[in-house]
Structure 1
């Protein structure tokens, strides 16, 4: 049709006018083809809220969600993924996997430069993976069977495994396996390197400054390898600690975007009615996880299985779903989320039953004293968002009914991580853990003996050890038959639900809240933890 129109214009008005009309027509077609009828635009500043304030700006040694939201803006991975978790090119343009899933070959993008001008090569990839194996909470498990990382040339990486890992190709996103510059980190204290807080990457945005307690600023990388991107000039990551203040900031337009249900869930219905704002539930396919109680099994009382069974029996998951999560959650007892193909729906062996909880505590040797109490515990809720603290308040109330006195302790994220994973000075905590792309990566780290790693956050904080669980996770990590994998995961879930090193409560439905002027903020399973190279503003 456009061709016919062009011929007619040329015949009546000449060649010069054709170019003007054709350009206008193409612009019109692109505009109409763009969502909401607006052409993609360049420029502007995105005001992005991350809470609490990140403890670092590179996710090399942490899986804290607040760090995962900022790191990929600067530091990239070998691959990106679509919503079906199928891989797409990023720093790697192509890849091959051997039939036995023991060799992974990545062909790297040519001409990529670090933000300091140095060339990106295979040496950076090999260094990053080896370093992640030492300091990252999940990489020790993810890359456990790596025997060699070869660099036949500056643009090829060959990873060889001792055993199959059919799920490994899903592990190379920027938020899971960040590629950092070897020339910056090599022969330094990786955990104390200044680049952790002033990152140098290959990504679409360059770090500008971090004003602690206020904001983090990033600017457009004009030398980005994906020509024409990013569309934004700047990202300002705002730190707003008060949940109610975040709600107001969305309403008055001072912030544009945030994820992980950034406002009190009691405010969501009101924000839904604001024509300037919208909600998104996609973008949590990697992060999707479970809200849980994690016991310190070194505590004498909690080491007693009867006590843990009693605590489980005293909690009503349906109350947690309705009252704490306002319905944005699914009750479950398994560490694997219901949307996973490996989820076992077998009911919990410890349903809500206060009478049974009291009987179990009596059997455990903790009778009520004259004041009606049995013993006291302290709970440490993860200081990210308000949901762990709200859950802790409910747990305190529920356990008081069976004679357990609970004190809720508050602290910032750094103090929490040190207390739980380094000092181990806690009774039980309330946190959330992601299932990720496969339970081998997201779940095994919480329960295998080798993942009791003092000082490494979000690993086996309970100090649980069961040789049967260790063996099952080893087997399922190598298994290529899906039917057998489901059987292994079913066994794992039933053993963990019986042993209760933790109590899985609900699988939350996370929400992203955004101004309708923000486009392409959720185009992958990483959601707002992606690079934002494709984000643009309609101002």
Structure 2
């Protein structure tokens, strides 16, 4: 799935219009490891327009190049809690060292770390947290992370209390993931939706060293509250235009770390050096996201025909991903325990004849051109995605062929990386691949982000949190989403999830096709301590949590 402009599922963090070869991508002598000394790692990212803006809430900025698909806002600005998308449930206390819910899950009290300072040396306090969440409330356009409305207060310098109108524990990951900004800088910045933040002041382990249109250099923050980094003391982020550019940099050794899909990784990357590593832990489900206000995708039978007609194994294999199996859309086997008893073992199967029968039963007839039509209109729609994303392009090409086999014409509409999220947020698309939200590793979150009718926005009005971009409406489902926060036991919550799953299966508001992972690619030539399948402590994509765990090779 696609993350909001600041990170990547479909939207990869960051990139320049031209492939950057050598230049800042090449490691300097100071980047090389030495005994007892810290090192600088070169990180391959993606961006169409690398501008000197580090505002963590705006799209298409330099900050976006550093935004981690693993849940971290970056290396300069930090969240209250680092949400663990790999070792699910083992979230890491960060600016908040502890927290507890009370008042029927309407009150969240967080206890902050002490001794934290901003990179300019000024103290970090609860006032900064209150100020940050006040900005998100006052300027909804900044709230891409879906932080629910609340009253935020600070009884003392180290405590922050969130008070919600409704029980909100199910939205914990949204609440605590917001990047925290400094009151003393941002209170005089003017309109935060237009503030470039060219010289960011954060609490993170790194601060801005230098900027160019091709790359960003971060250096260790000497004021960092966990101690100035001594292993990885620098990170040079280099922008490439597409997956292939990032892959070339990683294969050639010009980059040490990346978070990109690599086609045929064993042959292309892993075989080139014993130091090369690639791990993509299961992170979610993806597929065809229709605009439900557009015919023929608004026709349930048409969507069901697509689901029956495609070969999910072939689509996923086009980019090295496993096919989606469960009709619930939940990633399997990780979420097996949360599947409704009525839907356990019910998997997607390809049935080309059944797909055609579904169309014909809905009034479609085959035309002389080999495509079905109804009421004089051909069974045809387009799919929009950034042309730079070669992994998506490969999957879509397979879909074009498979849908043609069942009499449906799929047209490809490639757009710029920086354009896709605005198109899907405003509903100005027919279909896409990848959801522009980074769902928390919870069953409720997957459904809440993608099909909650209470998050419906009409065409032309942008959904501020990129949720329910297909514009799905269903009164019964809307009520279930309202009931879920009121549940007081796990059994009650699971009963509601079971009903949500059944509606998802019956209405098929979007069509799951494959499971995706958090792509992590790295070289162990300079540093060790990387997360892996054998040591899955956090997501392997570029992020602060991992950077702080790395130690130079002796």
Classify the TM-score, shorter chain: 0.7 to 0.9
Q: Which residue of 1 aligns with 2:541?
A: 528
**What are the within-5 Å matches in structure 2 for residues 23-422 of structure 1?**
41-52=36-47, 57-60=54-57, 68-69=67-68, 71-80=73-82, 83-98=87-102, 100-132=104-136, 134-135=140-141, 139-140=145-146, 142-144=147-149, 146=150, 148-171=151-174, 176-186=177-187, 188-195=190-197, 198-212=199-213, 214-229=214-229, 231-261=231-261, 263-264=262-263, 266-281=264-279, 288-321=283-316, 323-326=317-320, 328=322, 330-338=324-332, 339-340=334-335, 341-344=337-340, 346=344, 351-374=349-372, 375=378, 376-381=380-385, 385-422=389-426
Q: Which residue of 2 aligns with 1:519?
A: 528
The change in CA–CA distance for 1:317 and 1:466 in structure 2 (over 3 A counts) is: same
SS at match of 1:528: coil
The change in CA–CA distance for 1:42 and 1:459 in structure 2 (over 3 A counts) is: farther
Give the superposed CA RMSD. Answer: 3.2
Matched, 1:494 2:495: no
**What are the within-5 Å matches in structure 2 for residues 500-511 of structure 1?**
500-511=508-519
The change in CA–CA distance for 1:527 and 1:364 in structure 2 (over 3 A counts) is: same
Q: Which residue of 2 aligns with 1:5?
A: none
The change in CA–CA distance for 1:457 and 1:108 in structure 2 (over 3 A counts) is: closer
Q: Unaligned stretches of 5+ in structure 2?
A: 1-32, 373-377
SS at match of 1:190: coil
How far is the alpha carbon of 1:62 from its aligned partner?
6.5
Matched, 1:466 2:474: yes
SS at match of 2:222: coil
2:425 & 2:112 partners in 1: Cα distance?
A: 36
How far is the alpha carbon of 1:72 from its aligned partner?
1.8
1:230 & 1:102 partners in 2: Cα distance?
A: 41
Contact 2:453-2:478 within 8 A present in 1 as well:
yes
Q: Which moved more, 1:130-139 or 1:219-228?
A: 130-139
2:230 & 2:474 partners in 1: Cα distance?
A: 48
SS at match of 2:414: coil
Deviation per CA, 1:63-105, whole angstroms, max 9, x where unpaired? 9986632842000111235634334432123333337433222
The structure in which a higher percent of residues are helix is 1
Contact 1:440-1:473 within 8 A present in 2 as well:
no
Larger Rg: 1
Contact 1:293-1:428 within 8 A present in 2 as well:
yes
Q: Which moved more, 1:324-333 or 1:155-164?
A: 324-333
Q: Which moved more, 1:346-355 or 1:55-64?
A: 55-64
Deviation per CA, 1:85-135, whole angstroms, max 9, x where unpaired? 334432123333337433222222333232344432212212323434523
Q: Which moved more, 1:100-109 or 1:289-298?
A: 100-109
Deviation per CA, 1:121-159, whole angstroms, max 9, x where unpaired? 21221232343452356644x525x3x211112222111
Deviation per CA, 1:347-391, whole angstroms, max 9, x where unpaired? 668742222222222333332333222323111135674222212
TM-score normalized with structure 2 length: 0.79
SS at match of 1:191: coil
How far is the alpha carbon of 1:397 from its aligned partner?
1.0
SS at match of 1:50: strand
2:258 & 2:551 partners in 1: Cα distance?
A: 15
Deviation per CA, 1:171-211, whole angstroms, max 9, x where unpaired? 565xx32112234444733332112x653311011124443
The number of residue pairs the alignment matches comes to: 488
1:477 & 1:138 partners in 2: Cα distance?
A: 21
The change in CA–CA distance for 1:177 and 1:525 in structure 2 (over 3 A counts) is: farther
Q: Which residue of 1 aligns with 2:453?
A: 449
Deviation per CA, 1:236-293, whole angstroms, max 9, x where unpaired? 11122343443332233111111243x22x23344333444343537x57xx111121
